[in-house]
């Protein structure tokens, strides 16, 4: 005797025999959560567009075609065209082995004969339901793998920093990581907001599930719902297959919405609705799906000022910022630069198979004096370029090439905020030479350079 304590599953039975339909529904309702019956196969497309069934029991022989099964095969093809992952069990009173084999080849999952034995029918349905679950899981895993593949080469998994301001960030992460509280990460471009989000995920109770990141600034208005909530096949021109959105793929894991401040007010309303209901509805469907995610958002925009200016919904802000984490710019954590610089040096030395072992003291001094408007990301790219261009085992100041600010400014007005590294170095050399009346040895000593390095710079800058 087959027993199933928790009733689950949605079954559709299509047959032109009303007595059979009623009897099947009466029996199956004791074992599954939903049983829909339909006498007219012409209603199949409408039913499938409004509901997703775990198993479809389909008669092979309707009034137009009493015994050949031809009409049943046509409707099988139609069902699989609408939903390629559908699980269909064909039923007939005139079955034989050849018809059963053909049904399986055409895409049916199984084949039963009328009149059926209830226990055998129930066993067939349970088996078909398990197959449906497997198909959905495989489809979701495929989509998840595609989304995660972009992250496969992400080498910056750890947060680098020992400064006091970063220690405060670490303490906040420790306190909130194991909760499901929504987190809003605030910080300038390049400060490492995604690294913080990943750290929250890795230290959470959802760490074994997916971390799905979405750049909200890169999603167009027209694709917003499709990308985040998913779509059904044929719901728009390029929708060639059913596809889960980022919310579905992140189910049980963490969803990271980066640059959330870029969302327009209409899209903010749609996002708020989903966060409130914890349900998503794919484009082209009217059926909602429950979602269970841990939400982490980030922005470099003044989001609280945007609320005052009616550019960002206050209710959405309340929804996403149960906890706020402020990431300091690199200029406020200059003590971390040696640690970060050496981390990136080791990384790119291995990547490009160079033999660069260290950063000279003079180069490090210059790195620590620069304002880094692009924050950690700019430092990372600077080290990468330096490693590529370096011809020795040590990175020296001349190995760093930043885009110079070519506008002329009086030296008395110059601050590090006004220039990139190359221009700062040029002005600094000019000032030190003036201070020592052109004495190369004294100027080189103060700058932390060798005489030959200083001569190369004089030639480079035309001084």
Q: Are residues 214 and 82 in the same domain?
A: no
From 16, 228, 64, select the one nearest 143 (Cα to Cα). 228
Q: Are residues 263 and 405 in the same domain?
A: no
Q: Please state whether beta strands 294-299 and 288-290 pair in parallel, antiparallel, or not at all (unpaired).
A: unpaired
Which residue range is the domain that position 207 belongs to? 164-328
Q: Are residues 340 and 319 in the same domain?
A: no
Q: Render 361-392 in DSSP notation, one character per residue.
A: HHHHHHHHHS--TTHHHHHHHHHHHHHHH--S
Residue with tokens 């899209």: 267
* 271 phi and psi angles, rounded to 5 deg: -65, -45
Q: Are residues 188 and 47 in the same domain?
A: no
Q: Are residues 171 and 183 in the same domain?
A: yes
Q: Are residues 174 and 311 in the same domain?
A: yes
Q: Is 434 left (phi over 0), alpha (psi -120 to 50) or beta?
A: alpha
* 224 phi and psi angles, rounded to 5 deg: -55, -55
Q: Does the residue 4 lie in any domain?
A: no
Q: Are residues 21 and 131 in the same domain?
A: yes
Q: Are residues 312 and 339 in the same domain?
A: no
Q: Does the residue 149 lie in any domain?
A: no
Residue 317 has pLDDT above 90, yes or no: yes
144 pLDDT band, cuts 50/70/90, is: low
Q: Are residues 307 and 343 in the same domain?
A: no
- Lowest average pLDDT, out of 33-37, 154-158, 298-302, goes to 154-158
Domain at 184, CATH number = 3.40.50.300
Higher pLDDT among residues 47 and 184, named by residue: 184
Cα separation, 92 vs 61, in Å, equals 7
Q: Are residues 209 and 101 in the same domain?
A: no
Order of strands, sheet of 34-38, starting from the edge strand that comes earlier in the sequence: 34-38, 10-14, 55-59, 88-92, 110-113
Q: Does the residue 158 lie in any domain?
A: no
Q: Domain boundary at 312, 328, 344, which?
A: 328
**Strand partners for 183:** 296, 323
Count: domains in the chain: 3
**DSSP tally for the chain: helices H, then strands E:** 18, 16
| Average pLDDT in the chain | 83
Higher pLDDT among residues 283 and 402, named by residue: 283
The HSE-up count of residue 206 (CA atoms within 13 Å, CB side) is 25
Domain at 62, CATH number = 3.40.50.2300
Instruction: Return the number of other C-beta atoms located less than 10 Å from residue 18's C-beta.
Output: 10
Q: What is the dihedral of CA 55, 61, 67, 72, to 10 degrees?
A: -60
Q: Are residues 340 and 310 in the same domain?
A: no
Work out the percent of the chain whose per-residue pLDDT is above 70: 86
Q: Are residues 263 and 191 in the same domain?
A: yes
What pLDDT was estimated at residue 67?
56
């Amino acid at each position: 005797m087959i027993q199933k304590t928790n009733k689950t599953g949605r079954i559709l039975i299509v047959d032109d025999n009303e007595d059979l339909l009623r009897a099947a529904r009466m029996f199956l309702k004791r074992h599954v959560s939903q049983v829909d019956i339909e006498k007219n196969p012409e209603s199949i497309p409408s039913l499938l567009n409004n509901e997703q069934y775990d198993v479809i029991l389909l008669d092979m022989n309707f009034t137009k075609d009493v015994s050949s099964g031809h009409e049943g095969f046509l409707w099988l093809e139609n069902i699989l065209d609408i939903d390629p992952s559908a699980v269909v069990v064909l039923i007939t009173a005139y079955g034989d082995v050849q018809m059963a084999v053909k049904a399986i080849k055409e895409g049916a999952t199984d084949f039963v004969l009328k009149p059926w034995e209830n226990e055998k029918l129930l066993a067939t349905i349970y088996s078909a339901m398990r197959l449906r679950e497997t198909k959905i899981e495989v489809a979701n895993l495929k989509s998840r793998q595609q989304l995660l593949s972009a992250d496969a080469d992400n080498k910056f998994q750890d947060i680098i920093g020992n400064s006091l301001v970063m220690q405060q960030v670490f303490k906040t992460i420790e306190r909130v990581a194991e909760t499901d509280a929504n987190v809003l990460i605030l910080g300038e471009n390049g400060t490492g907001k995604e690294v913080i989000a990943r750290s929250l995920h890795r230290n959470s109770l959802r760490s074994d599930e997916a971390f799905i990141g979405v750049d909200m600034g890169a999603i167009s208005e027209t694709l917003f719902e499709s990308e985040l909530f998913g779509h059904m096949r044929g719901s728009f021109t390029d929708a060639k297959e059913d596809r889960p959105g980022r919310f579905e793929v992140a189910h049980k894991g963490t969803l990271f919405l980066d640059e959330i401040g870029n969302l327009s007010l209409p899209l903010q309303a749609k996002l708020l609705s989903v966060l409130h209901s914890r349900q998503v509805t794919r484009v082209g469907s009217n059926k909602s799906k429950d979602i269970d995610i841990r939400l982490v958002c980030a922005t470099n925009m003044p989001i609280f000022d945007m609320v005052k200016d009616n550019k960002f919904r206050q209710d959405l802000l309340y929804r996403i910022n149960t906890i706020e984490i402020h990431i300091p710019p690199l200029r406020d954590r200059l003590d971390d630069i040696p640690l970060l610089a050496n981390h990136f040096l080791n990384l790119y030395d291995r990547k490009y198979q160079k033999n660069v072992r260290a950063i000279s003291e003079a180069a490090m001094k210059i790195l620590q004096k620069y304002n880094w408007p692009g924050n950690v990301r700019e430092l990372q790219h600077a080290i990468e370029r330096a490693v590529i261009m370096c011809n020795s085992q040590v990175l020296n100041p001349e190995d760093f090439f930043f885009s110079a600010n070519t506008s002329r400014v009086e030296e008395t007005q110059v601050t590090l905020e006004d220039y990139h590294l190359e221009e700062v170095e040029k002005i600094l050399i000019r000032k030190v030479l003036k201070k020592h009346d052109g004495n190369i040895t004294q100027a080189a000593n103060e700058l932390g350079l060798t005489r030959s390095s200083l001569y190369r710079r004089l030639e480079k800058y035309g001084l």
